[in-house]
Amino acid sequence: ETWEGTSTPAVPCPLADAVRHPSSPVSSPGIFELSTEFGLPVHVPELELGLAAKQTGLDESALTPLSEVECLHVGRFKLTFLHTPGHSPGSTVIRVTGESGDAPERSGVDLLIAGDTVFPGSCGRLDLPGSDPYVMYDSLQRLSSLPDSLPVYPGHGYGGSETTIGREKASGYLSPGITRGQWNAHMAR
């Protein structure tokens, strides 16, 4: 099966399994200990503060909110947080590059940690409370503007442990040939 009017393969719709696979509680082991025992800051997307506090057992005031396109420097790495709602309202991907001020080609480090936004050949579940398949389309289109050679590491190994922006544009949900109308029709199935 392909997307209507294109040669891009259509992949199974995450909504199709909603009835057979009800969502289960999610926890974030380790976050509580990192904050309380080691005094490390815990950075969480602004829109996810309440949920993260509930899931980790931390007071919301112990969490540091991340805003759109915020950058943190960790050692020689620069982490740029990009808001990619769809899987959840606060879904975020992290672009990791070399030392602040270094061009990625000179530092040798340039990659994307995609969490539950992009998987090889697919995207995060869109049947959970707060998820929105129509907003996900915009997030995926935004990511498709990143360099084709950019390695992508998803939050889970569904379909593989890594991919690239170019691979996902050629055969996944980042395909520039998928129109909003085709996406909406596919998600409505």
Residue ranges of the chain with pLDDT lower than 70? 1-29, 69, 99-107
pLDDT at res. 33: 86
Does the reported pTM lie above 0.85?
Answer: no
pLDDT at residue 30 in the model: 79
What does the pLDDT read at residue 159? Answer: 85
81: phi > 0 → left, psi -120 to 50 → alpha, else beta; which?
beta
> Which pLDDT does position 151 carry in this prediction?
96
The pLDDT score that the predictor gives to residue 107 is 54
